[in-house]
Amino acid sequence: MLIGIDDTDSPQGMCTTYLGAVLARRLIREHMRVREARLVRLNPNVTFKTRGNAAIMLDAEGDPDRAFAIACALVEERADFSCDNTNPGVAVVEKRPDRAFYEKAVKDFCEIDEAVAILDGAGAWYKGWKNRRGLIGATAAVASVLADRTSEILVYREPQRFGTPRSVDRASLFAAEAATFPHTWDTVDITNDVVVCVPHTPDPVLFGIRGESPHWVMTARRMIRSEPPALEQIWVTNQGTDAHLVDGKIGALREGLSYRVRGTVAEVPKTGTGGHISFMIRDGDPAVRCMAYEPTKNFREIVRQLVPGDAVIVCGSYKKGSINLEKMKIVSLGKAETVRPPLCISCSKRMTSDGKGKGWKCKKCGARADAPDVQESSRTLETGWYEVPPTARRHLAKPLCRGEPEL
């Protein structure tokens, strides 16, 4: 059977993955076998999410009636019902529903009624609390088929420490990254000297290590020194796989979906207040804005070097009219030109403009010119893929250390 759970946490605490890890142990105590613990991240642009829009699925052998009762009891015991935005859902199926619902939940938006119809059709055991929105994630989790998969070991805290500062040895995290990258990633951000894998929220997670396989996340995990953990679970995940991206065309992008879009840079990037960088790309008409926000740090240095005519493929979520960049391929470089007023040949002085479209005039001798002085400048930027740093990476975004995206 497949057991799906979602929406049990709130900004004040809990975490659906923790509940899943506890459930796995309760099922094992009841002599059920847990074959796989899966963590799926769904559309990162869903507004109801608490943090990373995660849902979990346990693939287990045993009595579905009993497993459903245990899962529901655990949700009632541990979910944070006090939060308006916590609407848990539990679903148990004996056969995986059509994967199409998972695909829609990771890439698009779903309705609660769609999930309920699928669960009814599958003869599922299911329960939704409050507005039952968690049934969407629970259904997507049991319907999931992972074309590409990665691992994450999540290490959970002792309950009496929840909400207190975490104690994880910083040097051991950097050492674990040095020993296991690129087979693990996003433990730390070396360029920005920041620990990435230890959350700051009051949830039960102490730290999480992401990597290619259980072997690699365990290798890194063994190197990490910390406060005593209560529980550890290796999850099979869709994190770091770009499962959220769809091919998109400028002019036909939908709000809240995440895209891979081709285009040509249409204007010089502008730096706005707060250090956010924006530039327009087009592929014919119309154009679309791309954003590299301040948290994307050094990635912005690449973006700043773009010039009109550069051909790019950008990846990111389309929100409020902009593509928020997760990564970008510079396919080919346009010509970088510096345009200055023309030089007066007699006086060796730069001329001054006579107004828009009216040419230039030498103030000293009165000589006139119609065209500016255009010089091609050399580019230091190289073609290829560039990505935001680990501190700014979305759960679903495939890091370049896993290989370049297939187009």
Q: Write out the residues near ligand ATP by the rule CB under 6 A.
A: 6-9, 15-16, 42-43, 46, 48-55, 87, 105, 109-110, 133-134, 136-137
- 91 bridge partner residues: 4, 126
Output the smallest distance, CB 286 to ligand ATP, in A.
Answer: 27
Nearest distance in Å: CB 157, ligand ATP: 15
Closest CB 192 distance from ligand ATP, rounded Å: 24
CA–CA dist 192, 203 (Å, integer): 25
Provide, rounded to whole angstroms, the least separation between the CB of residue 235 and ligand ATP. Answer: 12
Measuring CA to CA, how many Å separate 399 from each of 140, 154, 302, 327, 329? 24, 19, 17, 9, 13
Residue with smaller CB distance to ligand ATP, 52 or 199:
52
Residue whose CB is less far from ligand ATP, 48 or 174: 48
Q: Is residue 378 classed as helix, strand or coil in its secondary structure?
A: coil
Distance CA 108, CA 119 (A): 19
3-state secondary structure of 106: helix
Closer residue to ligand ATP, CB minimum distance, 54 or 198:
54
- Residues listed for the chain: 407
Nearer to ligand ATP, 126 or 360 (CB): 126
As measured in angstroms, the least distance from the Cβ of 177 to ligand ATP is 25
Least distance in angstroms from the C-beta of 140 to ligand ATP: 6
Name the strand (E) or helix (H) holding 265: strand 258-265
Smallest distance, ligand ATP to C-beta of residue 52, A: 5
- Strand 336-340 relative to strand 352-353, pairing: unpaired
In sequence order, what are the residues at sequence separation of 6 or more whose Cβ sits closer than 8 angstroms to the Cβ of residue 385? 327, 328, 329, 400, 404, 405
User: With respect to ligand ATP, which residue has the nearer C-beta, 9 or 177?
Assistant: 9
* Cβ at position 261, least distance to ligand ATP in Å: 20
Measured from the CB atom, the residue of 15 and 330 that comes closer to ligand ATP is 15
H/E stretch holding 277 reads strand 277-282
Q: Which is nearer to ligand ATP, 80 or 177 (CB)?
A: 80
Residue 59 CB, shortest distance to ligand ATP, in Å, is 18
Q: Side-chain half-sphere of 55: how many Cα atoms within 13 Å? A: 33
Our CB check for ligand ATP shows the closer of 115 and 328 to be: 115
- Joined together, the tokens standing for residue 294 give 């301040």
Distance, in Å, from the CA atom of 239 to the CA atom of 396, rounded to the nearest integer, reads: 4
Complex with ligand ATP: residue 48 or 385, whichever CB lies closer: 48
Query: If you search the block for the tokens 């479209």, which residue do you land on?
Result: 357
Shortest reach from residue 19's CB to ligand ATP, in Å: 8
What separation, in Å, do the N-terminal and C-terminal C-alpha atoms of the chain show?
35
- Closest to ligand ATP by CB, 54 vs 280, is 54
**Minimum gap (Å) between residue 225 Cβ and ligand ATP:** 27
Which residue in this structure is represented by tokens 């119609």?
A: 370
The residue among 11 and 359 lying less far from ligand ATP, judged by its C-beta, is 11
User: Residue 387 belongs to what H/E stretch?
Assistant: strand 384-387
